[in-house]
Amino acid sequence: MTDERKNETRFIFVTGGVMSGIGKGVVTASIGKVLQFRSFNISVVKIDPYLNVDPGTLNPVEHGECFITEDVWEFKPVPDSDERIYKISEIDQDFGTYSRFLGLDMHPSHNITSGQIYLTTILGERKGRFLGKTVQIIPHVTTIIKERLIEISRCENLDVLLIECGGTVGDLESSIFLEAFRQIKIEYPNRTALVHVTLVPYSQAVGQQKSKPSQHSVKMLQSLGLNPDIIIGRSEKPLADDIKQKISLYSNIPETAVISNPDLKVVYELPLLFEEQGLGDYLCEMIDLKAKLVSYNEVTNYSEWVKMINIYKSANKTITIGMPGKYFNISDSYISINDALEHAAAHQGYKTELKMINLSEDTNVGEELSDCDGILLTPGFGERAVEGMIQSAEYAMDKKVPFLGICFGAQLFYVAFCRKYLGLKGANSTEIDPDTPYPVIDLLESQKVVIEKGGSMRLGAHKIIVEKHTKLYKAYNQKEIKERFRHRYHIQERFITEEAKQKGMVVSSRDETGKIINSIELNREDHWMVGTQFHPEFKSRPYAPSKLYFDFIKACITKKAGNN
Distance CA 515, CA 509 (A): 10
Query: Is 537 annotated in the active site?
Result: yes
Distance CA 78, CA 121 (A): 8
According to CATH, what is the number of the domain 3-304? 3.40.50.300
In this structure, the dihedral spanned by the alpha carbons of residues 506, 512, 516 and 522, taken in order and rounded to 10 degrees, is -10
pLDDT at 2: 38
* Helices and strands, number each (H, E), in the chain: 18, 23
Amino acid occupying residue 17: G
Given a cut of 60, is residue 158 above it in pLDDT?
Answer: yes
Given a cut of 60, is residue 432 above it in pLDDT?
Answer: yes
Domain 315-563 belongs to what topology?
Rossmann fold (3.40.50)
User: Alpha carbon 59 to chain centroid distance?
Assistant: 14
Distance CA 252, CA 254 (A): 7
Q: Tell me if 3-304 shares its fold with 315-563.
A: yes
Give the mean pLDDT of 309-330: 91
**CA-wise closest residue to 98 among 151, 36, 150:** 36
User: pLDDT higher for 299 or 460?
Assistant: 460
Neighbouring residues of 480: CB distance < 8 A, sequence distance ≥ 6 = 463, 464, 465, 466
Distance CA 381, CA 411 (A): 11
Give the mean pLDDT of 350-359: 94
Task: Give the DSSP letter string of 160-172.
Answer: EEEEEEPS-TT-G
pLDDT at 296: 77
**Burial classification of residue 528, based on how many CB atoms lie within 10 Å of its CB (0-12 exposed, 13-18 middle, 19 or more buried):** buried
Q: Where exactly are the structural domains of the chain?
A: 3-304, 315-563
Identify the H or E element spanning 234.
strand 230-235
Query: Is 407 annotated in the active site?
Result: yes
- Condensed to tens digits (0 to 9), the pLDDT of residues 498-548 reads 999 999 999 999 999 999 999 999 999 999 999 999 999 999 999 999 999
Partnered with residue 230 across adjacent β-strands are 195
Given a cut of 90, is residue 385 above it in pLDDT?
Answer: no
**CA-wise closest residue to 128 among 176, 76, 82:** 82
Distance CA 242, CA 551 (A): 49
- Condensed to tens digits (0 to 9), the pLDDT of residues 44-55 reads 999 999 999 999
Percentage of the chain with pLDDT > 70?
Answer: 98
Residue among 407, 483, 487, 521 flagged as catalytic: 407
pLDDT at 3: 46
Q: What is the pTM of this model?
A: 0.94
Given a cut of 50, is residue 446 above it in pLDDT?
Answer: yes
Residue among 343, 487, 527, 535 flagged as catalytic: 535
Distance CA 491, CA 473 (A): 20
Distance CA 341, CA 347 (A): 10
pLDDT at 564: 65
Per DSSP, 380 falls in state -
State how far the alpha carbon of 355 is from the alpha carbons of 325, 358, 367, 535, in Å.
Answer: 11, 10, 12, 20
Query: Is 107 annotated in the active site?
Result: no
pLDDT at 6: 58
Per DSSP, 326 falls in state S
Give the mean pLDDT of 249-271: 96
- What is the pLDDT of the chain when averaged over all its residues? 94
pLDDT at 449: 84
Given a cut of 80, is residue 327 above it in pLDDT?
Answer: no
Per DSSP, 55 falls in state G
Amino acid occupying residue 75: F
Distance CA 223, CA 166 (A): 19
Residue among 179, 275, 368, 537 flagged as catalytic: 537
**CA-wise closest residue to 496 among 520, 525, 464:** 520
Distance CA 279, CA 49 (A): 28
Please answer whether residues 261 and 234 qualify as being in contact, where contact means their C-beta atoms are separated by less than 8 angstroms: yes
